[in-house]
């Protein structure tokens, strides 16, 4: 019974990391990338997202609760799992370790980012271009955001590879090699989007 529950929890953890949390990450990066078009471009995109109907409901049940489960169970995995060199080999074992490290970094970053934006918005602050410009004008915060964003993107891209394996989509060694290249491409593309967005604010 305990084994079945852990199997279910790991499957759910993997699924939520892609849908909806991973999809939200991609959407968030795309919205932030509007900053490369200037202040008005970003503010219009941010205002559109904030004016969506049922926003509070969507944020709670589509973003925050799935993210909370993924984060809590992910911490459990990070501090209990052991690297498996005999099964995955040198490269995948490193990816396994980096997945755990970036998961912890991403959790710290996301918690801080939510505090600086969503929580402050609840107290009346405007989440706009100027807010992010003020945050990122501090060199320490700029590099904190760079590390946090790249960690989150790596965690998503590498987690997507694991998701495809654990859900039986990439079973053969060849399909797993192909998905490795695909997820590396996703990591590079999204990292460019994320870093360009951050530099646009400064």
Give the pLDDT score at 83.
59
Fold (topology level) of 2-200: 3 helical TM bundles of succinate and fumarate reductases (1.20.1300)
Task: State yes or no: pLDDT of 128 exceeds 90.
Answer: yes
pLDDT band (50, 70, 90) for residue 5 = confident
Give the pLDDT score at 124.
87
Task: State yes or no: pLDDT of 35 exceeds 90.
Answer: yes
The structure's pTM equals 0.93
Sequence ranges of the domains in the chain: 2-200
Average pLDDT, rounded, for the chain? 92
SS (H, E, C) the chain: CHHHHHHHHHHHHHHHHHCCHHHHHHHHHHHHHHHHHCHHHHHHHHHHHHCCCCHHHHHHHHHHHHHHHHHHHHHHHHHHCCCCHHHHHHHHHHHHHHHHHHHHHHHHHHHHHHHHHHHHHHCCCCCCHHHHHHHHCCHHHHHHHHHHHHHHHHHHHHHHHHHHHHCCCCCCHHHHHHHHHHHHHHHHHHHHHHHHHHHHCC
Please write the tens of the pLDDT for every residue from 134-183.
999 999 999 999 999 999 999 999 999 999 999 999 999 999 999 999 99
């Amino acid at each position: 019974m305990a084994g079945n529950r852990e199997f279910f929890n790991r499957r759910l953890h993997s699924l939520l990391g892609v849908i909806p949390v991973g999809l939200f990450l991609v959407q968030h990066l795309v919205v932030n990338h509007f900053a490369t078009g200037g202040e008005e471009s970003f503010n219009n995109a941010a205002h559109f997202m904030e004016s969506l109907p049922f926003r509070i409901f969507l944020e709670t049940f589509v973003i925050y609760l799935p993210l909370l489960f993924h984060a809590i169970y992910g911490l459990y995995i990070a501090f209990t799992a052991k690297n498996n060199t005999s099964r995955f080999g040198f490269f995948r074992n490193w990816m396994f370790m980096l997945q755990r490290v970036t998961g912890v970094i991403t959790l710290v970053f996301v918690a801080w980012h939510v505090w600086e934006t969503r929580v402050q918005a609840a107290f009346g602050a405007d989440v706009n271009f100027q807010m992010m410009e003020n945050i990122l004008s501090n060199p320490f915060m700029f590099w904190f955001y760079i590390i946090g964003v790249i960690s989150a993107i790596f965690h998503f891209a590498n987690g997507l590879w694991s998701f495809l394996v654990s859900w039986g989509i990439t079973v053969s060694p060849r399909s797993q090699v192909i998905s490795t290249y695909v997820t590396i491409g996703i990591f590079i593309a999204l990292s460019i989007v994320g870093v360009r967005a951050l530099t646009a604010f400064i």
